Amino acid sequence: MFQAKAFAPFEKLAAALVPHSSEGDDGSHDVAHVLRVFKNAMRIQAVEGGDARILAAAVLLHDCVAVEKNSPMRSKASALAAAKASAVLAKLGWASDDITAVAHAIVAHSFSANVTPETLEARILQDADRLDAIGMVGAGRCFYIGGRMSSALYDPFDPAGSNRELDDRCYVIDHFQTKLFKLADGFQTKAGRALAATRDQRLRDFLAAFMDEI
């Protein structure tokens, strides 16, 4: 059951926007993901500053268009989400400058879009979303997405990819090397980088334990 109070102090905004926040059945980009990113964003904003209302709206709508990870449209997902978010906020009577700010943060949050975040709110959203891709939650989401894509857990004869090209569409743990271990170096805010360092180490410890077991 949706509980707006989980998004305090933006309960009213969440009640209006959460019905638009996700679509489809992707459990790695559902309301639970939105709430985790919201908590990350508010934690960073408390240190870094920025317009919390703009940030909250951007968080709530950052994944409002669903595009599977293996879709050729994946790099367009954040732009599609920004367009939908703009329409939703316009219907709620938001000012055009505020809508533009939210839309930019949404477009720039995506790793695959490769758009530079130009505002503090955009930098915070990018950091908050990427925090959910590393650490233990990130590991769980990685395996979940691999299952959706029918990927194997690992290459049984060369799990570390020492003598082959890494392929994260075929093998889940290849994604740690091809993307997840690269994320911590790209965080935009000081507060985000501090949180990322802890989660990155957890992710590396997880993979080391996984490799030991196999």
CATH code of 141's domain: 1.10.3210.50
pLDDT reported for residue 29: 84
* Residues 159-200: tens digit of each pLDDT: 999 999 999 999 999 999 999 999 999 999 999 999 999 999
Helix (H) or strand (E) holding 213, with range, is helix 190-213
Query: Of 115, 130, 145, which one is at a domain's C-terminal end?
Result: 130
Say what the pLDDT of residue 70 is: 63
Check whether residue 152 and residue 123 sit in a common domain.
Answer: no
DSSP 8-state assignment for residue 179: I
Domain count, the chain: 2
Domain around 205: 133-214
Do 105 and 58 form a contact (C-beta atoms < 8 A)?
yes
Is 154 within 8 Å of 171 (Cβ atoms)? yes
Each residue's pLDDT tens digit in the chain (214 positions)?
678 899 999 999 999 999 998 877 888 889 999 999 999 999 999 999 999 999 999 999 999 887 766 666 667 888 999 999 999 999 999 999 999 999 999 999 987 778 899 999 999 999 999 999 999 999 999 999 999 999 999 999 999 999 999 999 999 999 999 999 999 999 999 999 999 999 999 999 999 999 999 9
Is the same domain home to 24 and 75? yes
Asked if residue 105 and residue 13 are part of one domain, the reply reads: yes
d(CA 48, CA 71): 35
Domain boundary among 78, 108, 130: 130
Query: Which residue, of 84, 110, 130, is where some domain finishes?
Result: 130
pTM across the whole model: 0.93
Both 63 and 120 in one domain: the answer is: yes
